[in-house]
Amino acid sequence: MGYFSDITRGLSTAVKGLTVVIRHLGRRKVTRQYPEPKNEYILPERARNRLYVNMDDCIGCDKCARACPVDCIEIETVKSIPEEDLGVTTRFAKKKSLWVTKFDIDMAKCCYCSLCVWPCPTECIVMTEVFEFSEPKRENLIYHYATMDAAEAELHRQNRANYEAQANVQRAKQAADRAANAPAGPPSSTPPSSPPPSAASPWANKGPKH
């Protein structure tokens, strides 16, 4: 008995499945051939996705890195020397005085909180609309935004070190000159000390008499 009921159930299941298939044969296909139709989604305003840094406007202030709760931003800077003019930022015309020798964001650690975006004084770090950026290797998710190579960074470090060394020599020389040209002071002598009140003072024991 169980044998025939199993056959009946199997046949009815197959018929049900085929009915569904036949019903959908003439309908519009809904399967998305990902990843070809990429821009099908309209992202909500202020969606948080991949970060981008416009290094032309970065002044190396480090505010974004300090705001990051997971420490995934690493910035290194070198002070420029007076002979170097780094110009101003395109937004807000802020004067640039630091060479940004390293600006890395580890997007594998990023939690997309956007806390780095708000404190930026030149609005050069932004969330983009790019959300598809998977990588087979984690290290590929460390984005290097600094625009200079290691040789140029080393050159700026060296320039700064030379400038500071020269400034130190100059300061030491000026201090030595000042010391050499300082006017000679009066010969040191012990100032006469005021005499202790004498018991023989005419005013001693001259209080009112009673």
Binding residues for ligand SF4, rule: CB under 6 A, are: 51, 53, 58-64, 67-68, 70, 72-73, 75, 105, 110-116, 119-122, 124-125
Minimum Å distance from CB 155 to ligand SF4? 21
Angstrom distance (rounded) from CA 120 to CA 68:
12
**Residue placing its CB nearer to ligand SF4 in the complex, 133 or 171:** 133
Minimum Å distance from CB 47 to ligand SF4? 12
**Residue placing its CB nearer to ligand SF4 in the complex, 111 or 172:** 111
CB–CB of 157/78 below 8 Å? yes
**Residue placing its CB nearer to ligand SF4 in the complex, 81 or 115:** 115
Angstrom distance (rounded) from CA 198 to CA 165:
63
**Residue placing its CB nearer to ligand SF4 in the complex, 4 or 138:** 138
Angstrom distance (rounded) from CA 118 to CA 186:
63
Angstrom distance (rounded) from CA 101 to CA 120:
18
Angstrom distance (rounded) from CA 89 to CA 71:
26
Minimum Å distance from CB 85 to ligand SF4? 18
Minimum Å distance from CB 34 to ligand SF4? 26
Angstrom distance (rounded) from CA 164 to CA 83:
13
